[in-house]
């Protein structure tokens, strides 16, 4: 019953910093999907009109995962390019030849809305099977009015988790445009009004990189979206010191994502800002590049989140456990830091920290329930320990 009053009781609540579990058995009262009360079972308030009482049988309970950076709506694969890259052709060279992002654009433009929805829905189910209750989904494989809108409409139609849509029209310049400024103007004049009218997204992203969009034009473009109340996120400093990370901080963006090529000054800026550094180590694995300086960021006090960056080019994987595993192995993040990065910090990257990412009064009852040890998570690539996912207090069956 979606709006009923439920009690979940007799569980071990994982501490907010993921350092262990609370001593006493816990209980949680959920009303219309939100946590109304959470605390020791011995202090559980009496409630009237209960729809369900769920004994969680001493299992562990912790907030479910939030995937804060994906490109889930696309058609086709780029497996052929992957082989080329392995044989020494670079990502940027492939892009310059009209492959890369533009090859996925070609496939996405010619695929029907119905087919795109089918493909994306299967992918969303795959995230849910891994304990994910919220997924950010970007556009950016349309690069024309029709396909950008089609992509976001598909994203909005996805069922299961909460979907947060992000407009990434500025992912690459389509062939129809001579220069980058002209294309950004087109997005502002022709696409932005439709996004607003159809309420398709209130977040904007841009890929700031050599051979893609540069900082000055991006600043102007993003400010226009901010004037319309959009939140900003930036694909920043992935392949070079592009200036994207500093721009993100300057604009008080929700997040700057990738951030591999950042220096100590950037790290200091992150530590003083609310902009979340979203690290995408599966992309770094596939791109065979350096990993971002996670340790330095965290030690400086910056907020770090993790995500798959699932897309057909730089990160053709949805493997949440692999992402955390790489964070542990390659970036020396502790297991607790990985859990935080995939829950509350990911919520912050999406501006949802008052609603999700931790189990507190007033937030959605989105949680994972398991008999496994916490150390079993982010340990074996491709393997999520047996668990049950609850979204808004409802058990997810997929
Ligand atoms: O996050 N860097 C830009 N965008 C994606 C790659 C998209 C693609 O290659 O299709 C990324 O890595
Ligand atoms: Fe990305």
The Å distance, Cα 123 to ligand 2 centre, comes to: 16
Percentage of residues of the chain with pLDDT beyond 90: 95
Q: Please, how many CA atoms are within 13 Å of residue 389, restricted to the half-sphere of its CB?
A: 21
Nearest CA to ligand 1 atom 3: 207
Question: Which structural domain range is residue 202 located in?
Answer: 65-349
Q: Is the pLDDT of residue 299 over 60?
A: yes
Q: Pick the range with the lowest mean pLDDT from 34-43, 46-55, 175-184.
A: 46-55
Q: Please write the tens of the pLDDT for every residue from 217-230.
A: 999 999 999 999 99
Is residue 141 lining ligand 1, measured as CB closer than 6 Å?
no
CATH number for position 212: 3.20.20.140
The Å distance, Cα 311 to ligand 1 centre, comes to: 7
Q: Say if residue 22 is in the same domain as residue 149.
A: no
- Cα 73 to Cα 200: distance, rounded to the nearest angstrom: 14
The Å distance, Cα 309 to ligand 2 centre, comes to: 5
Q: Say if residue 307 is in the same domain as residue 367.
A: no
Q: What DSSP string runs through 192-208?
A: HHHHHHHT--SEEEEEB
Q: Say if residue 77 is in the same domain as residue 149.
A: yes
Q: In Å, how far from its chain's centre is CA 4?
A: 29
User: At 331, phi and psi to the nearest 5?
Assistant: -120, 0
Is residue 101 lining ligand 1, measured as CB closer than 6 Å?
yes
Q: Please write the tens of the pLDDT for every residue from 206-216.
A: 999 998 999 99
pLDDT of the residue at 2 = 45
User: Comparing C-alpha atoms, which of 191, 187, 203 is closest to residue 155?
Assistant: 203
The Å distance, Cα 172 to ligand 1 centre, comes to: 10
Q: Say if residue 13 is in the same domain as residue 80.
A: no
User: Comparing C-alpha atoms, which of 231, 322, 221 is closest to residue 280?
Assistant: 322
Torsional class of 256: left (φ above 0), alpha (ψ -120 to 50), beta (otherwise): beta
Q: Please write the tens of the pLDDT for every residue from 121-140.
A: 999 999 999 999 999 999 99
Q: How many domains does the chain have?
A: 2
Q: Say if residue 256 is in the same domain as residue 126.
A: yes
Q: In Å, how far from its chain's centre is CA 277?
A: 12
Is residue 140 lining ligand 1, measured as CB closer than 6 Å?
no
Is residue 104 lining ligand 1, measured as CB closer than 6 Å?
yes
Is residue 242 lining ligand 1, measured as CB closer than 6 Å?
no
Q: Is the pLDDT of residue 3 over 60?
A: no
Q: Say if residue 133 is in the same domain as residue 217.
A: yes
Task: Please compute the mean of the pLDDT values over residues 189-210 and round it to a whole number.
Answer: 98
- Cα 108 to Cα 150: distance, rounded to the nearest angstrom: 10
User: Comparing C-alpha atoms, which of 389, 306, 358, 276 is closest to residue 18?
Assistant: 358
The preferred substitution site among 171, 212, 307 for testing ligand 1, maximizing ligand atoms within 8 Å of CB, is 171
Nearest CA to ligand 1 atom 11: 314
Q: Please write the tens of the pLDDT for every residue from 361-383.
A: 999 999 999 999 999 999 999 99
Q: Say if residue 48 is in the same domain as residue 79.
A: no
Q: Say if residue 324 is in the same domain as residue 369.
A: no
Q: Say if residue 132 is in the same domain as residue 226.
A: yes
CATH number for position 384: 2.30.40.10
pLDDT of the residue at 1 = 44
Q: In terms of pLDDT, which residue wins out, 13 or 92?
A: 13
Please state the pTM of the whole predicted model: 0.97
Q: Say if residue 16 is in the same domain as residue 70.
A: no
**Mean of pLDDT over the chain:** 97
Predicted confidence band at 96 (pLDDT cuts at 50, 70, 90)?
A: confident
Q: Say if residue 381 is in the same domain as residue 283.
A: no
pLDDT of the residue at 4 = 84
Is residue 318 lining ligand 1, measured as CB closer than 6 Å?
no
What radius of gyration do the chain's Cα atoms show?
A: 21
Q: Say if residue 203 is in the same domain as residue 252.
A: yes
3-class SS at 256? Answer: strand
Is residue 314 lining ligand 1, measured as CB closer than 6 Å?
yes
């Amino acid at each position: 019953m979606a709006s009923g009053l439920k009690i979940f009781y007799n569980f071990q609540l994982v501490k907010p910093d993921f350092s262990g579990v609370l001593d006493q058995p816990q209980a949680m009262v959920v009303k219309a999907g939100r946590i109304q009360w959470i605390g020791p079972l011995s202090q559980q308030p009496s409630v009237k009109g209960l729809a369900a009482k769920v004994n969680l049988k001493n299992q562990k309970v912790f907030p479910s995962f939030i995937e804060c950076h994906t490109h889930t709506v696309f058609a086709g694969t780029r497996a052929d390019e992957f082989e080329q890259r392995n044989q020494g052709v670079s990502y940027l060279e492939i892009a310059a030849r009209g492959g890369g992002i533009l090859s996925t654009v070609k496939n996405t433009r010619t695929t029907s809305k119905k087919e795109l929805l089918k493909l994306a829905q299967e992918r969303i189910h795959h995230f849910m099977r891994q304990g994910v209750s919220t997924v950010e989904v970007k556009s950016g494989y349309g690069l024309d009015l029709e396909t950008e809108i089609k992509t976001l409409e598909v994203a909005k139609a996805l069922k299961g988790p909460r979907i947060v849509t992000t407009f990434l029209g500025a992912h690459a310049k389509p062939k129809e445009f001579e220069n980058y400024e002209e294309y950004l103007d087109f997005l502002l004049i022709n696409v932005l009004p439709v996004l607003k009218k159809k309420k398709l997204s209130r977040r904007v992203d841009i890929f700031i990189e050599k051979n893609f969009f540069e900082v000055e034009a991006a600043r102007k473009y993003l400010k226009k979206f901010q004037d319309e109340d959009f939140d900003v996120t930036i694909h920043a400093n992935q392949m070079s010191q592009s200036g994207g990370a500093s721009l993100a901080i300057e604009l008080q963006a929700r997040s700057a994502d990738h951030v591999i090529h950042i220096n100590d000054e950037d790290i200091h800026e992150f530590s003083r800002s609310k902009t979340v550094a979203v690290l995408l180590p599966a992309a770094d694995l596939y791109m065979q590049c350096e990993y971002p300086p996670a340790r330095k960021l965290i030690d400086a006090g910056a907020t770090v989140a993790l995500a798959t960056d699932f897309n057909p080019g730089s990160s053709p994987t949805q493997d949440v456990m692999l992402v955390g595993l790489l964070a542990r192995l390659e970036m020396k993040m502790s297991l607790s830091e990985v859990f935080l990065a995939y829950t509350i910090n990911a919520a912050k990257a999406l501006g949802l920290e008052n609603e999700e990412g931790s189990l507190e009064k007033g937030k959605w009852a989105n949680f994972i329930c398991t008999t496994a040890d916490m150390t079993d998570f982010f340990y074996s690539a491709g393997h999520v320990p047996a668990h049950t996912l609850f979204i808004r207090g409802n058990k997810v069956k997929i």
